[in-house]
Amino acid sequence: MKLTWQCMFSPRLYKIYKDGPRDSLYQPEGIEKWSDKVITMANTILNIGLYTSPFICFYIYKRGFFSLDETRTIIRYVGGLSCLIALSYILRGIGRASNPKYVDFLKALTSPVTDQKVYLDALRKYDFDFQAWPATYTLPPKKSSTWLEKHPFSSCANGDLPLYKRMTVQVLAYIATHTFALRLIYPGSLGLVHNLLRSALFQGRTQLVEVFDGQRTKLKTADGNEIDTMFVDNRAQSPKGKILVICCEGNSGFYEIGIMTTPVKAGYSALGWNHPGFAGSTGLPYPEQEHNAIDAVMRYAINELGFEPQQIVMYGWSIGGYVATWAAVNYPEVKALVLDATFDDLLPLAQNQMPSSWSLLVKEVVRSHVDLNIKELIAQYGGPVQLVRRTEDEIICLRQGQLASNRGNFLLTRLVEARHPELPASALESLQKHVALLDSQRAAMERTELDDNAKAPLKLISKYMRDYRSSHCTPLPEDHFDAILTNLTAKY
């Protein structure tokens, strides 16, 4: 009876790793299978009902279902469905308790933790609801600012507006950010996107575990979020494995199907993680929550995985370049910072995608709530940097097909300005002009007879940035990534 009770409310098991073909799933049998379907359907209907509850209540009111007789009928229906769901939970518990494979999983999950390594090794044989995964690395909570200390109207990006307009824009920006704007910036935080990619995420996670011996871990951040991470340890397989590459994904990227396999295939150790609100990670990707998440990842890498900061490379793709750069600034001893297809500032991209009549609102949303200003962060970092510019990038170019409008150009310009304040204005103008050229075009110019003042900007561009001929979402080949790290070591 005790085992059946545990099985009634225990997490759903998806897969037992290395138990059959890679694409095989754990298969519930008999009453477990059918009762699980009833519970899943009931949860789906409940979620839909919660989102549509205002319309349901309005319909009930209009149809006059609040009369005594109609209320009794509704209660009978609800009571009958509740009994069916309760019976389904009982039958599911009996079915799971009768399945030896599920019982072994439950024992691994609920066994006392006398040795954390042994406990995690046993648990990592299974893929199950991440919500039930124990947090094995937790940061102490930190005191958060009170609402009065940091309320959403404490600053305004449109301070030159009259008071009544300024207040209106601030209120609209607050509402927009907390309803749809953040999810437009980070579509991966939408449950719909997660559901559409569920199969691909499962397959990617299975590959990381079964092929590369990946180790999944839940981290708990200082603000209470739970972050889903995957670590591939190549220290015993390759000399390059002593370097850990921490991978920061894009706005619809997940470690399961993102950039993590690039450094792994190149022989490096890699640590991937999902943004707050993405897949198994809780929270939402507001900048402060992003900071706390990457801080937990960094501390886990240093304190638990045993990597020194000098052995860590921050690798950010697209919007992931923001947290990668933030981590490099706050952990300045890291070995290098690699930014692939990354922009300088979110605001120009956001304004380019939205109607011009919304410009004030967009500015307020970005500057007051989601200010991903990478160029100001990168100016504070003094270590090795390499920018990878996609020559056919359709996302961070303001004008399709025009390399001069690629926002990575502006990120490079800001980096050079911060690191080489001795450059004269003429050299900076030359740099801004030549950065719009392809690598091959600049190389041809360097072979011509140019004076030192003209050649200096070309050399700085080549030092900090390289081109990769592809679109925004094409995976970076492992040999290309390996060449980047090799060149970074040689340049610095």
In this structure, are residues 351 and 318 in contact, taking their beta carbons and an 8 Å threshold?
no
Could you give phi then psi for residue 178, rounded to 5 degrees?
-90, 5
pLDDT at 64: 63
Task: Find the DSSP H helices in 140-286.
Answer: 163-176, 182-185, 191-196, 198-210, 261-265
Predicted TM-score (pTM) of the model is 0.89
- CA–chain centroid gap for 405, Å, is 26
Taking only the tens of pLDDT, the chain with its 492 residues reads 788 888 888 898 999 998 877 667 887 777 877 887 887 787 777 767 766 766 767 766 666 656 666 677 777 877 888 888 888 888 888 888 888 899 999 999 999 888 889 999 999 999 999 999 999 999 999 877 666 666 666 778 888 888 888 889 999 999 999 999 999 999 999 988 888 899 999 999 999 999 999 999 999 999 999 999 999 999 999 899 999 999 999 999 999 999 999 999 999 999 999 999 999 999 999 999 999 999 999 999 999 999 999 999 999 999 999 999 999 999 999 999 999 999 999 999 999 999 999 999 999 999 999 999 999 999 999 999 999 999 999 999 999 889 999 999 999 999 999 999 988 888 888 888 889 988 888 888 877 766 666 778 888 999 999 999 999 999 999 999 999 999 887 666
Measured between alpha carbons, how far is 46 from 243 in angstroms, rounded to an integer?
A: 47
Tell me, what amino acid is at 153? F
Of the candidates 454, 469, 450, 357, the one whose C-alpha atom is nearest the C-alpha of residue 406 is 469
Q: What CA–CA distance (Å, rounded) separates 227 from 54?
A: 33
Q: Which stretch of DSSP H or E encloses residue 126?
A: strand 126-128
Length of the chain: 492
Which string of b and e fits 405-423 if b means at least 16 CB within 10 Å?
bbbbbbbbbbbbeebeeeb
Predicted pLDDT at 286: 96
Backbone angles phi, psi at 222, to 5 degrees: -65, -25
Longest pairwise C-alpha distance within the chain: 95
CA–CA gap between residue 83 and residue 103 (Å, rounded) = 26
Classify residue 112 as exposed, middle or buried by CB count within 10 Å of its CB (0-12, 13-18, 19+): exposed
Which residues have C-beta within 8 Å of that of residue 100, sequence separation ≥ 6?
none
pLDDT recorded at residue 92 = 82
> Cα dist. 70→73, 74, 193, 319 in Å?
5, 6, 39, 53
Write down the domain spans for the chain: 2-128, 185-491
Q: Which two tokens stand for residue 350?
A: 């956001």
Alpha-carbon gap, residue 338 to 314, rounded angstroms: 6
Predicted local confidence at residue 449, as pLDDT? 63
> Which DSSP string do the residues of 287-304 spell out, in sequence order?
HHHHHHHHHHHHHIIIII
Q: For position 303, what pLDDT does the model report?
A: 97
Report pLDDT for 341: 97
The CATH architecture to which 185-491 belongs is 3-Layer(aba) Sandwich (3.40)
Output the CA torsion sign for 307, 309, 311, 313. positive
Please name which of 1, 194, 13 lies closest in space to residue 90, comparing C-alpha atoms. Answer: 1
* DSSP states of 357-395: GGHHHHHHHHHHH----HHHHHTT--S-EEEEEETT-SS
Per-residue tokens: 163: 């008071």
> Residue 148 has what pLDDT?
61
Residue 107 has a pLDDT of 93
Exposure pattern of 472-483 as b/e (b: 16+ CB <10 Å)?
A: beebbebebbbe
What distance in Å separates the CA atoms of residue 277 and residue 225, rounded to the nearest whole number? 9
Long-range CB contacts (< 8 A, 24+ apart) of 66-69? Answer: none
**Res 8: pLDDT:** 83
